Structure formats: C-alpha cells, structure tokens
Amino acid sequence: MEASNGPRRPIGIGMISLGWMGRLHSQCYKRVNYHFPQLALQPRLVIAADTASERVEFAKDDLGYAEVTADWREVLSHPGVDAVSITAPNYLHHEMAVAAAESGKHFWVEKPVGRNSLETAEILEAAGKAGVITAVGFNYRHAPAVQRAYELVRSGTIGRVVHARGMFLNDHAADPRGALSWRFQRELSGYGVTGDLLSHVVDLLQYIIGDIAEVNSLMATTIAERPVVPMGVGDHFAVIEGGELGPVDNEDYVGALVRFGGGAVGMCEASRVTVGPRCQIGFDIFCTDGAVSWDFERMNELQVCIGRSDQDHGYRTVLAGPGMGAYAHFQPGPAISMSYDDLKVIEAMLFLRSIAEGSQHGASVADALATAEVLSALGRSAESGTWEVVRRG
C-alpha cells in the first residue's frame, strides 16, 4: 500500500442498518487505522440509520455515531457523509445502492448485492455512471490462507487446475424452531442459501480459478415452515419456542456441477440446515502438479501439496503467518490465529484505499455481478433440470 503523505484526511462515514453486519462494519472503520496506519484516510462515524429504535440508540451510545436516524435517506443527504455502508436486508440493497450512487457517495454493500442479477447489474450501472467506488462483502477472500492458495494457483506453481469443489455447509437453520427472518422469504432475500452462502463460494472459486461457464444444479427446501419474527428483532441464529408459523419460500440446499471457462470442472454446494459441520466454507482445488484445500472452520491453516514426483507426496498443513496476505498487519509472528472480524477490517481498508487512490482494490459490484450471473444460471438449471450457460454482461 502507498504510504500516506502527511496527515490523514478525514472521511465521513454513514451506516445504513445496524444488524450483525452494520455493527461489524462500524467496528472495522474504528479499527482500520490501527491495523493499517499508512492508510491516507481516517474514518469519522457521522450518522447511522436503522428502523429498530434500540439499534440506533446502541449506535449513538456505544458505536460512537455523532447522529442517528430511523430514515436511511437522511444518511445519503447528510453533507458530512462521503461514503456509506449498506448492510440492510437484501430487498433494500437495490434502492439504497442506486440512491447512494446518485448522491455521489462511495458505497460498501453486503453480498449478494441485488436479489438477482438484474438488480445487481442496475446497481453496477448506477455506480459506473456516478463514478463512485464500490466494495462488496466477499470477506473470505481476505483470509491469509486463501491469499496463499490464490498465489499458488494463479502463479502456476501447482500446475493447471483440473477439478475443484467448493462448499458452505452451515447449521444456522438446522433447528425447525429457527426464526423465519427475512432470509427465508424470497421477496425479502431473493434466493435462500444460494444468495446467502453459495455466493461466497462462487466468488472464491471464480476469484481463484476463473469464470464459471456452465452449471447443472438442484435446490431443495427441507424445513417448510418456521416461527415468525418481526424485522430487527434477534438475528438469523435466533430460535423461537411456539408462536405463529410462516412459510419458507426459498431453498435450504443447493448443489451443482460446474464447468469453468478455462476447461476445469467441479462441483459446489451450500446448505443452511447441515448438522455436523457448523460453518464450513472452503474449497479443494486439484491441479496437475499439486493441490490446495481450505476450510474456514480452521481458517488459519492451508493444506498444500506441491509436486507429484516424490513417493511420499501429499498434503502438509501450512499455518498462516506474516508472509501471507495482510496477516502481518494483525499479528507479528506465525500461527497466532486471526478472526472473522479481522477479515472485515481488511475489507474496510481495501474500500478506503480504493477511495483514496481512485482505483479499485478488492471485490467490487462488478465481482458481485459476475457471481450473480452464476447464481441466476443455477436458478434456471434447478427449474429446467438441465445444464445452463452462465449469461455474461
């Protein structure tokens, strides 16, 4: 990163929504200069919005926002705001992100961005027209072990990719008493686990290997009804005893065979109802001269196999350390574990660095569209029962 010349310039931050991600984005803006002192910008928490009153109170009293509001449009019209985070439920992203672009505000929006590829394409168009910087919450890219896997594959050190698999097996909705949050309603969320979890997997596979060209998928809903919960109460891990039940109208499971444009083949799957793995996002990438394997449940480890001529070749466990990705900004020596939240601090740095330098670092809405186009093909394939080509641009 370029060293900052002289004192840092302040940048006014607006926060739209204060759920899990809104609170975490806020913490990241507060931590980013500590971990990345050379950043040319210094975030100031100007104004935060949420429709849940206790969350705005928390934003003022504990997160340190100077102002709070129930109306997200006040965040965009505030003269002290230069950049915003959009961490609302998915159905609001399109309206909020287009409005942010039209107000000339740079924005960091959570995945999957739009509920579908059309919404995501319109957000990309609005950002392009306004000339604002964008960032997207594909945080798993930033794990130091993932960065090392990226280098090993992209440099050709382990040869050409032959086949790969990616997965996100999660248990947050395995309990039928798990609350019917916005995530389980197509109108509010778009896809179910496909947008929520598989989007991360598709992004990782395309980031490391290259574009997916064709898919053949199936989707399934295994828990058809869940207890109703009001917006802004609890989170998607909430479990509710008794009460009224409402229908789940998007999928709990998605699985697919995939063909990459570069010739490799593979598969990917995601579930929010798995019992066993708890938060197992990861990949196995098999190449002509080696392989890499990563599992977020052991985020700071990478399984690496380099070469195939040795009688005893096979995976060895490589621990994350200062030579990998942004690790050295968090810990001084190897094998001192980093956390999920640290990955979001790296994302905040990339967003602010992009603004400071006027050029893109890290995942943007263009990357979100590249993922959304694959998700659309998965949706079409689950309906048609056949292979579907990923439509680009």
- Which residues form the interface with ligand NAD (CB under 6 A)? 16-22, 49-52, 55, 72, 87-90, 92, 110-111, 137, 139, 196, 231-232, 235-236
Q: Please, what is the minimum distance in Å from the beta carbon of residue 362 to ligand NAD? A: 13
By the 10 Å C-beta count (0-12 exposed, 13-18 middle, 19+ buried), 289 is classed as middle
Give the whole-angstrom CA distance, residue 371 versus residue 243: 37
Helices 117-130 & 365-384 angle (0-180, nearest 10): 160
For ligand NAD, the nearest residue by Cβ is 19
Q: Which is nearer to ligand NAD, 285 or 363 (CB)?
A: 363
Q: Which is nearer to ligand NAD, 73 or 163 (CB)?
A: 73
Q: Please, what is the minimum distance in Å from the beta carbon of residue 243 to ligand NAD? A: 18
Q: Which residues pair with 5 in a beta bridge?
A: none
Length of the chain: 393
Q: Which is nearer to ligand NAD, 6 or 230 (CB)?
A: 230
Q: Which is nearer to ligand NAD, 152 or 204 (CB)?
A: 204
Q: Please, what is the minimum distance in Å from the beta carbon of residue 302 to ligand NAD? A: 20
Q: Please, what is the minimum distance in Å from the beta carbon of residue 187 to ligand NAD? A: 13
Q: CA distances (Å), 343 to each of 10, 91, 200, 220, in order?
A: 23, 25, 14, 31
Measured in whole angstroms, the distance separating CA 31 from the mean position of its chain's CA atoms is 19
Q: Which is nearer to ligand NAD, 95 or 102 (CB)?
A: 95
Q: Which is nearer to ligand NAD, 305 or 363 (CB)?
A: 363
Quickly tell me which residue has 């809405």 as its tokens. Answer: 365
Q: Please, what is the minimum distance in Å from the beta carbon of residue 16 to ligand NAD? A: 6
Give the whole-angstrom CA distance, residue 140 versus residue 254: 20
Q: Which of 157, 256, 253 is nearest to 205 (CA)?
A: 256
Q: Please, what is the minimum distance in Å from the beta carbon of residue 370 to ligand NAD? A: 16
Quickly tell me which residue has 């926060």 as its tokens. Answer: 15
Q: Which residues pair with 9 in a beta bridge?
A: 41
